[in-house]
Amino acid sequence: MTDRSADTALLDAARTLDAADPLAAHLDAFVEAPGVTAYLDGNSLGRPLRDVPEKLAAFVREDWGTRLIRSWDEQWMALPMELGDRIGAITLGAGPGQTVVSDSTSVLLYKLMRGALRQAQGPRGAAQGPAGRTELVIEEGNFPTDRFLAEGVAAEMGATLRWITPDPVHGVTVDDVAAVVSERTALVSLSHVDYRSGALADMPAITAVAHDAGALMLWDLCHSAGVVPMQLDDWGVDMAVGCTYKYLNGGPGSPAFAYLRHDLQGLLRQPIQGWWSAADIFAMGPEYVPADGIRQLLSGTPPVTSMLAMQSMIDLIEQSGIDGVRAKSESLTALAVRAYDELLAPLDVRLLSPRDPARRGGHITIGHPDFREVTRRLWADGVIPDFRFPDGIRLGLSPLSTSHAETVAGVLAVRDALESGVS
C-alpha cells in the first residue's frame, strides 16, 4: 500500500496556515469557476472579483448609458492619471503624477525604450550623440515581447544590443549588469521578476549600477506589480511598465501602466504623438505640443471600459496592504516548495526557482519532461497551472485569491498525474 502520510501532513499544515491567515476572508471576494479545484495561474490571468459584473452593468446603465458623452468631462478624461496614481501609491511606492494607465505593455515599453534611446543619443541620432551612448542592455531570457521590442527599437535607432546571460534559476544579478554596462550604455531594460523562474531582481542595486554608468533604467513589472512591494521613487527608478491582468485582476487585455519619473517628463519624448498627449487636447492645432505632465505618455483615446475591473482589486490590495500581500505570497510559495520536496523531487521533478522566498516573486516553476502532457490532463481535471516551454509548470499563487489548501491540492494533482503515467 502506498504511504500517503506526507499528503496528510501537508494538508494539515495548509489548513493550519489558512486558519491563521489574516487575508483569508478575501478568498470569498472572487468568482469561483465551476469544476476548478485548484487555480494556479493567477500570475498569468487573475480571477475576477464578485462585484465586477454589477460594476460593469452599472457603468453601462449609468456612466455610459445615462451620462453619455458628458462622462468624459465628468470623470473619464482624468481616469488614466487618477488610476495611475492609485496603482503608484498602493503598489509601486510612487508619488502622484508619475504613473498613467493606457495602451498595452508592448506599446508602453516601445514608447519608453525609444524615448530613452532618443534622449541618450541626442536629437540628431546615434552618430551625433553627446556621449556616444548607443547600447541597449537586456537579458537573453527576458519575456519575448521585451526582447523583440528591444531588437526593433535598436534597429530603428541604430543602436547595439548587449545581452546578459544570467543563471536561469536565480536570474539577473548586480554583477551581471555591472559586467556589461559602460560609457556607451544608453538604457538597461530588465524584468523585476523573471517570468520563468520567478527570480526577483535586486531593483535598487541594479538601478544604481545603471546610473553609475550614466544609463537610464527601465523595469518590466508585469510579474511583480500587486504582489511584491517596491519603492520606485526612493530607489531612483527612471521608468517602469507593468500589466494589470495578472495580480491586479483587470481581466484579459486590460490596459498596462507606465511610470516615468518627474524629472524625465518633458525631457524624454515618446514617439507616438497622439492627440491625448497634446498640451491642449481639443485645440486641434497645426502642430504637436506635448503635455507637461505624465499625460504626455498617452496617445489615443484611453480604454475606459477596460479600466473598470482592476479598480476592485486595487481597493482590495489597499485594504490588505501590499506588505501583507507579500507576506502571504512568501507563505504560499514556501509551502509549494515544501510540497515539491516531499512529493515531486522523488519523481525526478526539478525545482527551477530560487529556494529563498525573499529571492522570488509570486510563482515557482518546476520541470519534468512529461509536463506538457501532465498540464493537458490537469486542465481537463480542473487543476489549472501554467505550462512554459520546454518542460516547465508554473505554479502561480495569487495571494488574495489562493489558499494554502488549494496550493497543496495542486501539487498533489501534479504528483498523481505523474505517478499514473503519461500516455
- Show which residues are catalytic: 143, 220, 245-246, 394
Under 8 Å CB-to-CB from 77, ≥6 apart: which residues? none
Q: How far apart, in whole angstroms, are the C-alpha atoms of residue 42 and residue 164?
A: 28
Q: Is the peptide bond before 303 cis (omega within 30 degrees of 0)?
A: no
CA angle 260, 265, 269 (to 5 degrees): 100
Residue 138: strand pairing partners: 163, 189
Query: Using only C-alpha atoms, what is the Rg of the chain?
Result: 22
Say if residues 255 and 101 touch (Cβ distance below 8 Å).
Answer: yes
As given in the structure block, the three cell numbers for residue 224 are 511583480
As given in the structure block, the three cell numbers for residue 191 are 524584468
Under 8 Å CB-to-CB from 29, ≥6 apart: which residues? 49, 50, 51, 316, 400, 401
Cell numbers 535586486 label which residue? 202
CA angle 313, 309, 253 (to 5 degrees): 110
As given in the structure block, the three cell numbers for residue 140 are 537573453
Q: How far apart, in whole angstroms, are the C-alpha atoms of residue 32 and residue 47?
A: 8
Length of the chain: 423
Q: How far apart, in whole angstroms, are the C-alpha atoms of residue 217 and residue 405?
A: 39
